[in-house]
Amino acid sequence: MQIRQLLIKPWVWWLLLLLTLLISVSVGSVSPPIDQLFNPDSITYSIVWQLRLPRAFNAMLVGGSLALAGLLIQNLVKNPLADPYLLGVSGGAASFQLLVIMLGLSLSAEVLFLVGFAGSLLATLVVLKLSYHGRIKPNKVTLNGVVMAFGFAAIISFMLSLADGQQIRSMMFWLMGDLSFAQPSWLMVLLLALCYFLLRRQHTALDLLARGELFARKSGVHAERLNLMVFIMTALLTSMAVAQAGTIGFVGLIIPHIVRLLVGYQHRHLLSVTMLAGALFLLVADTLARTVLSPIQLPVGIFTALVGVPVFLMLSRKI
C-alpha cells in the first residue's frame, strides 16, 4: 500500500527516469571522463551530447509512445493481449521501409521516417475502413488487425527472401527495432504531449469505457467519439514510434499490464505512469542493448523481449 502511494506519483517516475538517464549516458564502450564533458573539442563531448543523449531521448520518446498506445488499444478492444501493432501499423511501416532499404533508394533518417509513417497510416486506414460501420466495432478491429498483420508478414518475408546478404542484416536490424538511427523528433514530443493532455481531460470517461461500451454509453460517455479518438491516437503514436525506431515489441503489451498491477485501474494515474514507465523500460532495454556485448550493439527488440517475456509470463498468472 505504501509502495502504491509512492508509485502513483509522477515525480517518482521522473526521478527514476532522470537517474537512469544519467547512468545510461555514462556507460558504454567508452566511459566519459567527467572533466571533458563540456569541452566541445573532445571525443567525450561528441559521444555524450551527439550520440548517447539523443539516443536516450529517442528511447524514452518511443517507449512512452508505445506504452501509452498499448494502454489505449487494450481499452479499445477490451483484450488483454492487444498491443499497438494490432492496428497493422508495424507491418505497414516495416513493409514500406524495407522496400526503400531494398531498393537502396535513400537511407537518410528523415526520408525513412516519412516512408514508414506513410506506410503505417495507410495500413491503419485500411483497418479503420474495414472496422467502421457508422461507428468503430472493436471486435472487428482485433480481427482485421490480426489478418492485416499476417498479410504484411508475408510481404516482409517475401522481401527478405529476395534481399542480398548486406541488405538482410540492416533489414533484420530494423525489424527488431533500432534506436541508433534517427534523431529524436520534436514532432513526436509534441504529439505525445498533445495526446497526453487530451486524454487526461477524459480520464474518467476512459475508466467507464474500460468497463464496456454499453456501460460507458449508459453512463453518459460519448463512446463512439471516444473510441474514434482512442483509435486515431493509437495509430498516430504507434506510427511515429515505428517510423522512428522500427518494430520494438513488448513495450506496448506488457507495460500497461505491469502499471495496472502497480497503481490500479484508474486512468487518472494510469495515463502518466504508463507513459513514464514505458520510457524508463525502453531506456533500460536500450542501454543494455548497447552495453552488454559492447562494442557490439544488439537490436533493442531482443532485450525488450528477453526482459518482457518472463515478466509478462509471471504476471499473466495474476491477470
Partner 1 sequence: MLLADQVSVTLDNRPVLKRLDCQFQAGEFWGIIGQNGAGKSTLLQCLAGLLDPDVGQVLVDDENIHQLDPLSRAQKVAYLMQEQEPSLAFTVYQAVEMGRYPWPDNPDNRQRITEQTLRDCRIEALQNRSILQLSGGERRKVEIATCLAQNSDYLLLDEPFNHLDVVYQRFLVKKLQTLSHDKTVVMVCHDIDVVAKYCSHVLMLLGDDCYLSGDSATMLNKANLEELFDESQ
Under the rule (CB under 8 A), what is the footprint of partner 1? 204-205, 207-208, 210-212, 214-215, 217-223, 260, 264-266
Q: How far apart are CA 98 and CA 263, in angstroms?
A: 39
Shortest distance, CB of residue 187 to partner 1, whole angstroms? 33
Shortest distance, CB of residue 256 to partner 1, whole angstroms? 11
Tell me how far the alpha carbon of residue 80 is from its chain's centroid: 17
Nearer to partner 1, 135 or 169 (CB): 135
Strand partners, 132: 136
Q: Which residue in 99, 159, 86 sits closest to 128, CA to CA?
A: 86
Shortest distance, CB of residue 268 to partner 1, whole angstroms? 10
Nearer to partner 1, 220 or 295 (CB): 220
Nearer to partner 1, 54 or 264 (CB): 264
Question: Which residue is it, cell 521501409?
Answer: 97
Strand partners, 136: 132
Nearer to partner 1, 219 or 291 (CB): 219
Shortest distance, CB of residue 158 to partner 1, whole angstroms? 40
Tell me how far the alpha carbon of residue 278 is from its chain's centroid: 8
Shortest distance, CB of residue 265 to partner 1, whole angstroms? 5
Residues whose CB is less than 8 angstroms from the CB of residue 45 and which lie 6 or more positions away in sequence, other chains included: 36, 37, 38, 39
Q: Which residue in 60, 58, 84 sits closest to 238, CA to CA?
A: 84
Shortest distance, CB of residue 293 to partner 1, whole angstroms? 40
Nearer to partner 1, 42 or 266 (CB): 266
CA dihedral 285, 286, 291, 294 (to 10 degrees): 130
**Half-sphere exposure at residue 159, Cβ-oriented, CA atoms within 13 angstroms:** 23
Nearer to partner 1, 70 or 91 (CB): 70
